[in-house]
Structure 1
């Protein structure tokens, strides 16, 4: 039977992010995405102007219908939240659908590049911290890790010793571990390795230690890469892949998409050209018509 993930996120018409990104990634990985919109936007919030319609009052109506259907989910994945009231709605959703056989991945979308996003409030931060405690795994970027822990983003950026930097980040991440929350995956850590090569690292942190999974830094910052990454991790967990294997696969997938976007000079707010590389995420043995040049198995190193 096909695995199912409830995907709680916004739907943005432009920006290649949120539900648009998650639905395509989760589907191609052989898992059924069941979207629950938190908001409808004409384009993601990085654009100079956009139409925004909160779905806070509609979320419980959808939850109620799903309860009537008696559905169950193998996983639940949360992303962008419009306001702190939506966290309460998600908590109620979890009360209905989260159990021991269901994992919860929280992507605590709060900001990036050292700054909170435009809809950030201290109330939203507090509620997001509470939500993270119910998760099995969270996927903050470095900015979001600092917001969740109260750390200084600029101070972290001043640490040049890579081993020390990763130790500090892992200790911050480890401070968030709480009962059910057993793993923090810190994404998009930029640094320069010992040979002077710019790198982008993803750090998996558990109570027992941490593992850095690096990729060459392609350059640029694009809308939606965090959503693509979180969707890969959620779908990988649903189909039984290890987190580390899925991080490696997601890193290759996003690196190719970013390189293509830089080559094509795609504007940052428009997101990355990921569509042509989706087939590399498919389960081994999946049949495709036409070329599958970019295919690679889920356990690629």
Structure 2
């Protein structure tokens, strides 16, 4: 059984970050550990003045205990980190040896940074992503990593591929997936791996939910760890998110995220094939 360490925040309400990553990967049969970066009363999207407890000072104590107990993980999945936690991981990943590392550089969307993020954080993320086995930014995050200002409405698949290739060259990576590329009534995904490029087009569903990026990254990782190719894993993840959205009642508050449980049986079966 593969063991996966998830390190991102835990939002107590709102199906984002650890709250979806843990059950998704555990349902697919992986032994999952959590190194929380912070505890939030809710995620930062629309609930008002959420509480925020920084756990970065506790993270080293936790990993020291794991080391003493002989606990290790074959894969590391980094999502939303925050200022103190990104400093921890900048030091920690320097001594990581031969582990699979998925970095989803959660910083922003729709052309702007999330609340609490700034240029200093972006610069630190530029250092951290150099350690990624696979990097999975959305289009906004890719542009911030590359320090580019591009109108999101004017990006096509060819331009997104160029951005992915620039990320590979700039940060000495071998595998980059750019998600959330808006293309009229479609959503695009572009991947570049070992100098080969591919793309996927999905129908854009009505409504906008929080947490879909975390759902995508978690189910994508489940596919990769099941020995699926990157493109196939991205297709599986895209279908998983679509199933969740289609099975969410129309009157549900979008802040609480889509019904990811509806897609778990599909994802579990795909990861067994």
Residues 15 and 44 of structure 1 are in contact (CA less than 8 Å); yes or no, is this contact kept in structure 2?
yes
Residues 133 and 177 of structure 1 are in contact (CA less than 8 Å); yes or no, is this contact kept in structure 2?
no
Residues 10 and 37 of structure 1 are in contact (CA less than 8 Å); yes or no, is this contact kept in structure 2?
yes
Give the counterpart of 1:260 among 234, 237, 247: 247
What is aligned with 1:188? Answer: 180
Q: How far 1:259 sits from its partner (Å)?
A: 2.1
Output the aligned Cα RMSD: 1.8
Q: How far 1:172 sits from its partner (Å)?
A: 1.5
TM-score (norm 1): 0.85
Residue by residue, what CA displacement relative to the aligned partner does 1:217-254 show, whole Å, maximum 9, x if unpaired? 11222111111111112222223221211111111110
Take 2:176 and 2:117, find their aligned partners in 1: how far apart are those partners?
A: 21
What is aligned with 2:97? Answer: 99
1:210-229 equivalent positions in 2, closer than 5 A? 210-229=197-216
Measured at CA, do residues 170 and 211 of structure 1 come closer, stay the same or move farther in structure 2, by a change above 3 Å?
A: same
1:75-224 equivalent positions in 2, closer than 5 A? 75-83=75-83, 85-96=84-95, 98-100=96-98, 102-154=99-151, 156-159=152-155, 165-177=156-168, 181-192=173-184, 198-224=185-211
Measured at CA, do residues 129 and 190 of structure 1 come closer, stay the same or move farther in structure 2, by a change above 3 Å?
A: same
SS at match of 2:131: coil
SS at match of 1:177: helix
Q: How far 1:14 sits from its partner (Å)?
A: 1.2
Residue by residue, what CA displacement relative to the aligned partner does 1:95-121 show, whole Å, maximum 9, x if unpaired? 45x322x21000101111111100111
Residues 129 and 148 of structure 1 are in contact (CA less than 8 Å); yes or no, is this contact kept in structure 2?
yes
Residue by residue, what CA displacement relative to the aligned partner does 1:131-153 show, whole Å, maximum 9, x if unpaired? 11110111111111111112223
Residues 245 and 299 of structure 1 are in contact (CA less than 8 Å); yes or no, is this contact kept in structure 2?
no
Q: How far 1:268 sits from its partner (Å)?
A: 2.4
Take 2:144 and 2:212, find their aligned partners in 1: how far apart are those partners?
A: 19
Unpaired segments ≥5 residues, structure 2: none
Q: How far 1:180 sits from its partner (Å)?
A: 6.0
Take 2:235 and 2:148, find their aligned partners in 1: how far apart are those partners?
A: 27
Take 1:153 and 1:220, find their aligned partners in 2: how far apart are those partners?
A: 24
What is aligned with 1:57? Answer: 57
Unpaired segments ≥5 residues, structure 1: 160-164, 193-197, 285-296
Measured at CA, do residues 116 and 48 of structure 1 come closer, stay the same or move farther in structure 2, by a change above 3 Å?
A: same
Q: How far 1:260 sits from its partner (Å)?
A: 2.5
What is aligned with 1:279? Answer: 265
Q: How far 1:128 sits from its partner (Å)?
A: 0.5
Measured at CA, do residues 180 and 68 of structure 1 come closer, stay the same or move farther in structure 2, by a change above 3 Å?
A: farther
Measured at CA, do residues 7 and 135 of structure 1 come closer, stay the same or move farther in structure 2, by a change above 3 Å?
A: same
Q: Which has the larger radius of gyration?
A: 1
**Runs of 4+, deviation exceeding 6 Å:** none
